[in-house]
Amino acid sequence: MTLDVSNPFAAPSTLPYELPDYSAIREEHYEPALRAGMAEQRQEVEAIATSSEPPTAENTLEALERSGRLLTRVLHAFFNQVSADATPGLEDVYERLSPELAAHRDAIYMDARLFARVRALAEAAEAGDLTLAPDEAWLVRTLLKDFRRSGIELDADSQAELRRLNGRITELEAVFARLLLAGEKASGVVVTDVAELEGLPDDAITAAAASAASQGHEGAWLVDLQLPTQQDVVSSLARRDVRERVQRASESRGAHGDDNDTRSTLLELARLRAERARLLGYEHHAAYVAEDATAQTTDAVNAMLGRLAPAAVANARAEGAELTALLHRTEPDAGLRASDWAYLSEAVRKERYSLDDALLRPYLGLERVVRDGVFEAAHRLYGLSFAERDDLVGYHPDVRVFEVFDAPEPGEKDQGLGLFLADWYTRASKRGGAWMNNLVDQNHLHGQRPVVVNNLNVVKPPAGEPTLLSWDQVITLFHEFGHALHGLLSDVRQPSQSGTAVPRDFVEYPSQVNEMWAWEPEILRSYAVHHVTGEPMPAEWIDTMLASRQFNEGFSTTEYLAAALLDQAWHQLAPDEVPTSVDDVAAFEAKALAAAGVDYAPVPPRYRTTYFNHIFGSGYSAGYYCYIWSEVLDADTVEWYRENGGLTRANGDAFRRRLLARGGAQDPLASFRDLRGRDAEIAPLLARRGLDL
């Protein structure tokens, strides 16, 4: 199939850094481009498989890396847009073509001829007849593992069944994401009396009115929902009944028995994933996932989560007792609810530390946090600088494009490094949460420089009003930019090893490290400036913030661990153990949380099953544990920075050279050991979270 030359994907973009030309790309361009990309790669792979030449790194490894360029550039643009600015047409293409894309991948990784060529390279290298570069040797190892995990050793009938399972699983993941997006937008809480919003900052009330108007609720206010269970607005709403309405709306998403109910979809997904794992010889889906991660086994995952959960819940219960005492000052007989937690904990924080989010927000303007916080830390650590490119457009009018410049050595002239696209605001067409995508992968094989995107879901203020952030949103900005740095500072030859192409339980590590600079006093004082007066945040407030870092940590750790354990519970099931009725979903969840010892009602999981997009609509199935696993590396690396002088160019260059630049071109734990000089230790994590055992 040849792609019409008028299609914007027919040739690489001529824009700087090959930024997709979103001014020309329309919805109808994606499907023909995807089909043409698959057809083109099939031809390229067939040529490799049928080559009469003995396999070499050039005619096999490099040839495979060169294949599929059209498909790659379309998929990057498509997946980014369908997650950040979806339309019914794009969602339809996603659902219809997902099985075909899965079948396309299967055709490559179930090709015995390709497998034989890669295996021959491995055998020749092992025998000493062939010398592979280190990144090539790691690529051979990765490919052989991928072939095996894709069913290359199965018989023909089993491979056919595996293809069916892969196609249906991919289709269902797309369905879940679509249902969740629709349900999330339909679950916002409409308020008709502004008095019910007592406690919300004025800018949040104004934004709620604008959101209501945009959804046809003139004269009302709409509290939009975020993806996690806990909603930011609950920390400010003074009326207990309104907080409970918001909490119930949040926790019931995907379970209403309506057109957006996700339960039948997730049950089928859990069962089919279990069937696929069993077909491939694994005990369950979680074992299949763990083998491809640094954890290696579910025993290791279970041991980590099991070690942390009791201490976390004990901390949460102690915090809950304090909040209950506060609640009883006004309602002596009331029991502590999940909807009370954020509001009461803010009151405790304000009382104990004389701070709350409402006090901090005027000092946390988005523009200043980005320029003098996120970008400034990257400049001091890595020599990066940023210039906004108003002449370049993204996939939505809210998207801003920055060119990134690099001075490889202090004092050297800046060089163009890549592009950074910032998409901060929530909208009806955007899924919840925060994430990073690649539009172009850095690689020397094709001479491509990186183009990366950060997505957040900050409520957009009315025109002319500043965007003021909560402290959690500031941390999210730094976190997601850590992913962006992993992509921007990649320095590898092979596209498949670029930047964040590392195991799922390693990929969060660099982004979590980048959060430390939000707290760095020198950086914090640079960006924490009042958006009207220009006055810096009072020094005593900053000192208080630093002193309060472990505040509410029992809650934070418990809600996270509950979600991670819930993920493992669903994915450590055999096929016949998966519930068959949608009415059983809530009961299974409750039983799993109780069995893990994290069933503390005032602290529900960060994501309940029915809106757990990470594991049912995204790529984190049986892998949500990765955040805490990565945090072991992160906390140990923070200690490394402190031991070596903190925020310095020398430290940044070392972290860049030894870890960020290497991407997936070698064992990622070897990259960590090269930086740290040893394996990671858990003690810094336990101390950080107040979990010293």
What amino acid positions are annotated as catalytic residues? 480
Chain position carrying tokens 């991670």:
564
Q: How far is CA 4 from CA 11, 33, 36, 81, 315, in A?
A: 10, 9, 9, 22, 61
Report the C-alpha gap between 689 and 692 in whole angstroms. 8
List of residues 6+ apart from 147 with CB closer than 8 A: 109, 114, 115, 118
Report the C-alpha gap between 77 and 75 in whole angstroms. 5
SS3 assignment, position 244:
helix
List of residues 6+ apart from 370 with CB closer than 8 A: 422, 477
SS3 assignment, position 418:
strand
Q: What is the DSSP string of 319-383?
A: HHHHHHHHHTTT-TTPPP-HHHHHHHHHHHHHHHHS--HHHHGGGBBHHHHIIIIIHHHHHHHH-
Q: How far is CA 67 from CA 38, 39, 423, 492, 664, in A?
A: 10, 11, 31, 17, 19
Handedness of CA 468, 470, 472, 474 (dihedral sign): positive
Write out the two tokens for 611.
């809106």
Task: Read off the amino acid at residue 584.
Answer: D
Task: Note whether 231 and 607 are within 8 A (CB).
Answer: no
Neighbours of 647 (CB within 10 A): 17
Write out the two tokens for 643.
């031991």
Report the C-alpha gap between 125 and 145 in whole angstroms. 16
CA neighbours closer than 13 Å in the CB half-sphere of residue 90: 20
> Taking the mean position of all CA atoms in its chain, how far away is CA 83?
12
Report the C-alpha gap between 27 and 22 in whole angstroms. 10
CA neighbours closer than 13 Å in the CB half-sphere of residue 156: 0
Write out the two tokens for 550.
């472990």
Report the C-alpha gap between 34 and 693 in whole angstroms. 52
Report the C-alpha gap between 60 and 53 in whole angstroms. 10
Report the C-alpha gap between 45 and 56 in whole angstroms. 15
Strand order of the β-sheet with 415-425 is 384-388, 400-406, 415-425, 451-458, 435-440
Number of DSSP helices (H) and strands (E) in the chain, helices first: 28, 7
SS3 assignment, position 420:
strand
SS3 assignment, position 454:
strand
> Taking the mean position of all CA atoms in its chain, how far away is CA 548?
26
